[in-house]
Amino acid sequence: MMIPIVTAEQMRALDHRTITEAPVPSLVLMERAGAGVVSHLEARHGSVAGKHVVILCGKGNNGGDGFVIARLLRRKKARVHVLVLAPITELSRDAKTMYQRFQRVAGPSATTRPSGAQALQQRLAASDLIIDAILGTGLSTPVTGLYREAIDAINAAGRLTVAVDLPSGLHADTGSILGAAVRADLTVTCGLPKVGLYCGAGIDCAGLVRLADLGIPPSFVDAIGSRLLLLTTASAQAALPPRRPSSHKGTYGHLGLIAGSVGKTGAAAMAALAALRIGTGLVTAAVPASVNDILEAKLLEAMTLPMPETKARTFARSGLDRLLAFAGSRDAVAIGPGLTTHPETVDLVQELVKRIDKPCVLDADALNALAGKASLLTECHRPPIITPHPGEMARLEAEATTQSVNEDRLGTATRFARERGVFVILKGARTVIARPDGVAAICPTGNPGMATAGTGDVLTGMVGGLLAQGVPPWEAACAATYVHGLAGDLAAQQLGQAGMIAGDLIQHIPHAIAPNAHQ
């Protein structure tokens, strides 16, 4: 139910196999691509009737898709003009066919070849909507000449912009900008999603990403063997335990949460509430003794358990045996939110991690306690789920920096998961989830409004809650991450991004796991 994410070469191979073996003519694939773009455009932004639409077409098959879109939009009563950025004689065979079909219905005046930047700017200034069908997945060198001028003009126009397959100027595999790239509001990618839409600058350039189904046989897709997947609503829903009429609170597990310290009881409270909101039957938070009453006042539905503490009001090393007993009587354990890096607490965490024999998620200060000692992760009885942000990831990985992690988020997460035998949720824009066998997934949900204190604690509670309900680690990591992002998206729709706080995510978890929730 997850969707494979492919490289440009894998997509070319799929297209070729579909054309030669299915067999589906290349012109039919082009028609389907164009129809998919129009469908998603109208679903997102309403009817195009009466709107001025400018479509910029290159000479390749991306341009061919653009001519199909032009014809379909004209049929829907849009006022369409096509700017062709190459001589007609240089169009690919299929692009030329679609150009001719458009010409037959629209007449020669509906298509022009702009002479330069000024002509581009004038035409785009009069538009309501811009369709970028200039460059597709084959680009590997910096954009120059009229194509570069067109991209710059699109970005300067400030109009609603839809990219076909991927924004022109973006590298399909790396998400890097090759000289200049279109900044789209919506990208409708064809067949299967491309890696570059979820990496680097691709995240900002692509805007909202939607998929146009080309009808590629599923067996062909399976044969590609992509090791990178895109999380979907269906995959997240499938991981959530069913709610049977005969069930009771014990049916849905008991999460043990080891979290909190003086000044950081909020982290423990949010993790506990998030676990309950994702369906966990029981949650008990073990906390340093002197902050127990504070946490009891914050939590109505979760239980608390006071534990030995240091003079700094953090977990004490002397509480190890009690915490091991606490963990042993729970279905799953979450460790980390608000622990601090007090030396005694660090020693305690290092021992706990080695000795707990329950499904486990480690976050925040539990990860900071392992800085420089990531080898301890390989000593765990069961592979834990770790949920680092880039800074925590850099502290775990030798010679890494936050910058190096962010420059290769996918590579960092997959490499660490494989080397340490753990499940990694590398948080950030387009969170990456990786598992020990090298398979990884990218989460399409989430938004910048979630860049606020406490959202990581919410994710930890959600992951732990699913583990407590008996969901296997990979499915728990993927489903919790997807639902976490979707809850953030629902909160942003209601509240706007700037004013969102972590508690808003918790409130929206029930809406995000509802059967009709979708991204």
Q: Provide the pLDDT confidence category of residue 454 given band limits of 50, 70 and 90.
A: very high
| Residue from 515, 433, 516 nearest 479 by CA | 433
**Per-residue confidence (pLDDT) for residue 518, from 0 to 100:** 59
Non-local CB neighbours of 12 within 8 Å, separated by 6+ positions? 137
Q: How far apart are CA 438 and CA 417, in angstroms?
A: 7
Task: Please report the pLDDT score of residue 398 as a whole number.
Answer: 82
- What sign has the CA pseudo-torsion 341, 347, 349, 354? positive
- The mean predicted confidence, pLDDT, of the chain is 97
Beta strands in 233-331 (DSSP E): 254-258, 282-288, 303-307
Cis peptide leading into residue 388 (ω within 30°)? no
Q: Where are the domains of the chain?
A: 3-226, 235-512
Longest dimension (CA), the chain: 84
Q: Does residue 414 have a pLDDT over 70?
A: yes
Write the pLDDT tens digit of every residue in 301-332: 999 999 999 999 999 999 999 999 999 999 99
CA distance 409 to 199: 8
Q: In whole angstroms, how large is the CA radius of gyration of the chain?
A: 26
Give the sheet arrangement for strand 129-133, strand by strand.
111-112, 79-84, 52-57, 129-133, 160-164, 186-190, 208-212
**Amino acid letter, 116:** G
- Tell which residue, 457, 403, 397, has the closest CA to residue 424: 397
* Cβ proximity of 106 and 30 under 8 Å: no
Q: Quick one: average pLDDT of 101-129?
A: 96
483-509, pLDDT tens digit by residue?
999 999 999 999 999 999 999 999 999
- Can you give the pLDDT at residue 516? 76
What is the token pair recorded at 228?
């990178």
Partners of residue 360 on adjacent β-strands = 333
pLDDT band at 399 (very low <50, low <70, confident <90, very high): confident
Amino acid 5: pLDDT: 98
Token reading at 97 = 């066919």
For CA atoms 82, 87, 90, 93, give the dihedral sign: positive
The Cα 420–Cα 413 span in angstroms is 11
Which residues lie across from 429 on neighbouring strands?
A: none
Q: Identify residue 384 by its one-letter amino acid code.
A: P
What mean pLDDT is predicted for residues 199-203? 94
Measured N-to-C along each axis, helices 473-495 and 502-512 cross at an angle, to the nearest 10 degrees, of 110
Task: Please state, in angstroms and rounded to a whole number, the distance separating the CA atoms of residues 60 and 415.
Answer: 36
What is the tens place of the pLDDT at every residue in 363-389?
999 999 999 999 999 999 999 999 999
Please state which architecture CATH assigns to domain 235-512.
3-Layer(aba) Sandwich (3.40)
Q: Are 300 and 327 in contact (CB under 8 A)?
A: no
Q: What is the C-alpha separation between 163 and 344, in angstroms, rounded?
A: 54
The Cα 37–Cα 34 span in angstroms is: 5
Instruction: Specify the DSSP element, H or E, that contains 239.
Output: helix 233-239
CB distance 97 to 67 below 8 Å: no
User: pTM to 2 decimals?
Assistant: 0.96
pLDDT at 446: 97
pLDDT, residue 67, reads 98
Domain 3-226 part of CATH 3.40.50.10260: yes
- Asked if residue 517 has pLDDT above 80, the reply is no
Short-list 210, 169, 184, CA closest to 35: 210
Provide the pLDDT confidence category of residue 334 given band limits of 50, 70 and 90: very high
Distance CA 387, CA 456 (A): 8
**Neighbouring C-beta atoms of residue 375, cutoff 10 Å:** 10
Task: In whole angstroms, give the CA distance from residue 113 to residue 81.
Answer: 11
Ordered DSSP codes for 348-396: HHHHHHHH--S-EEE-THHHHTTTT-GGGGGG-SSPPEE---HHHHHHH
Q: Note the pLDDT of residue 92.
A: 97
Average pLDDT over residues 450-464: 98
Beta strand pairing call for 360-362 and 385-386: parallel
pLDDT digits (tens, 9 = 90+) for 241-297: 999 999 999 999 999 999 999 999 999 999 999 999 999 999 999 999 999 999 999
Token pair 């009001």: residue: 313
